[in-house]
């Protein structure tokens, strides 16, 4: 009887301690019984950055473990939270849970649904009274692409694929110093700028480039005004600009240019100049002839001429052309060749059939 009484006393004591702790967490500190408070914006009222992960393809259901957006939240009170987006183009994003501590946090909004149209899709994020947004680039359904030579895969209508895991190997002809070949691959994650989602392209030379498409056949670079995977200027500003480098709808002879970019530094021999730069694009040909490179023959090729122009600061001079080159884009495979009008001619050519995911 004595042992039983002692046992009951211990149980009652533990129960009282549990209730006291529960009261302290849920009532006095908010805890699991309250509703989390927080912000999606910084102290200036600007939406915090977000990172989109995964591939998004028409008629392909999203997988919550692979398709998600990482958003930055500052929790100001503990408790339950629900952060979600609207439903656009057949998709939506959502996460709910408990904020057990206040302060900066990264929340994983998991993707649901199935994309309907191949276009850049913008989602509105809702949390308490905060409203922000992020964008997702949806690709067309993956199909095989024809052509002679060795086998490969393509993505149907894309002249510049941006799917995660895709890769290209290029060869400099002639070599650039000791550099012969280099590899380019698309990493996971995207950054959003001006409603476009830019995929991150990394090279084996440890350089990073950003490219996007608007779902209407226009492809954009977030970059300096140089050629893809090449560098002409000795220094550039600490920011990039966005500009279209390829338009499927443009007719042969159509031309456009980037905004002025600078100040850039240009060293030619013993001469150093500082000034502004821009790129001018012209459609040379579209799908008129096949193009063979890297052991494969490609059809549906667009030939784009790019001119890099420069004007020195404070001289009153006019823009002069520094370098002209032609970029060849194959439908379903992307950039297959770049030939520069130098003496002798220099090129960055596809070394083998690319892998397109």
Condensed to tens digits (0 to 9), the pLDDT of residues 282-333 reads 999 999 889 999 889 998 999 999 999 999 998 888 999 999 999 999 999 9
pLDDT of residue 331: 92
> Is the predicted pLDDT of residue 29 greater than 80, yes or no?
no
* Spatial distance between the Cα atoms of 320 and 268, rounded to a whole number of angstroms: 14
What 8-state DSSP symbol labels residue 246?
Answer: E
Provide CATH 2.60.40 ranges for the chain. Answer: 37-137
Question: Is pLDDT at 255 greater than 80 in this prediction?
Answer: yes
The architecture that CATH gives domain 148-350 is: Beta Barrel (2.40)
240 touches 144 (CB < 8 A)? no
335-347 mean pLDDT:
93
> What is the CATH architecture assignment of 37-137?
Sandwich (2.60)
128-148: average pLDDT: 66
What's the mean pLDDT when you consider all of the chain?
84
143: how many CB neighbours lie within 10 A of its CB?
11
Numbered ranges of CATH 2.40.360 in the chain: 148-350
Which residue do the tokens 């995911």 mark?
357
Q: Which residue has the tokens 């100049």?
A: 273
Give the per-residue pLDDT at 149. Answer: 31
Does position 348 have pLDDT exceeding 90, yes or no?
yes
For residues 81 and 98, the answer to whether their CB atoms sit within 8 Å is yes
Task: Give, in degrees to the nearest 5, the angle at Cα 124 between 120 and 129.
Answer: 165
pLDDT per position as a tens digit, 94-133: 999 888 889 999 999 999 999 988 888 889 999 988 889 8
Any idea which of 43-47, 141-145, 152-156 has the lowest mean pLDDT?
141-145
Concatenated DSSP letters of 267-329: EETTEEEEEEEEEEEEEEEESSS-EEETTEEE-SEEEEEEEEEEEETTS----EEEEEEEEEE
């Amino acid at each position: 009887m004595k042992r039983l009484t002692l046992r009951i006393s211990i149980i009652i004591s533990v129960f009282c301690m549990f209730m006291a702790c529960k009261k302290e967490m849920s009532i006095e500190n908010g805890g699991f019984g309250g509703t989390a408070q927080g912000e999606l914006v910084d102290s200036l009222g600007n939406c915090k950055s977000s990172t989109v992960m995964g591939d998004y393809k028409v008629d392909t259901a999203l997988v919550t473990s692979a398709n998600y957006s990482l958003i930055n939240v500052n929790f100001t009170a503990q408790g339950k939270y629900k952060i979600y987006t609207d439903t656009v183009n057949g998709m939506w994003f959502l996460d709910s849970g408990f904020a057990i501590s206040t302060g900066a946090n990264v929340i994983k909004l998991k993707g649901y649904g199935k994309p309907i149209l191949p276009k850049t899709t913008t989602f509105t994020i809702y949390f308490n009274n905060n409203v922000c947004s992020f964008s997702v680039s949806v690709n067309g359904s993956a199909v095989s692409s024809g052509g002679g030579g060795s086998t490969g895969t393509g993505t149907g209508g894309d002249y510049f694929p941006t799917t995660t895991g895709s890769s290209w190997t290029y060869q400099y002809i002639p070599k650039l110093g000791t550099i012969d070949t280099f590899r380019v691959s698309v990493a996971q994650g995207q950054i959003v700028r001006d409603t476009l989602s830019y995929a991150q392209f990394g090279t084996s030379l440890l350089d990073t480039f950003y490219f996007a498409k608007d779902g209407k056949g226009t492809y954009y670079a977030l970059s300096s005004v140089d050629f893809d995977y090449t560098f002409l200027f000795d220094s550039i500003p600490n920011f990039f600009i966005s500009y279209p480098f390829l338009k499927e709808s443009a007719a042969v002879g159509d031309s456009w240019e980037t905004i002025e970019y600078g100040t850039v530094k240009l060293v030619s021999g013993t001469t150093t100049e500082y000034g502004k730069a821009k790129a001018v694009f012209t459609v040379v040909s579209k799908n008129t002839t096949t193009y063979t490179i890297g052991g494969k023959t490609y059809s549906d090729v667009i030939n784009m001429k790019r001119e890099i122009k420069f004007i020195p600061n404070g001289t009153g001079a006019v823009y002069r052309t520094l370098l002209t080159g032609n970029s060849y884009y194959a439908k379903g495979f992307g950039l297959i060749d770049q030939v520069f009008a130098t003496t002798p001619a220099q090129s960055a050519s596809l070394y083998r059939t690319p892998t397109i995911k």
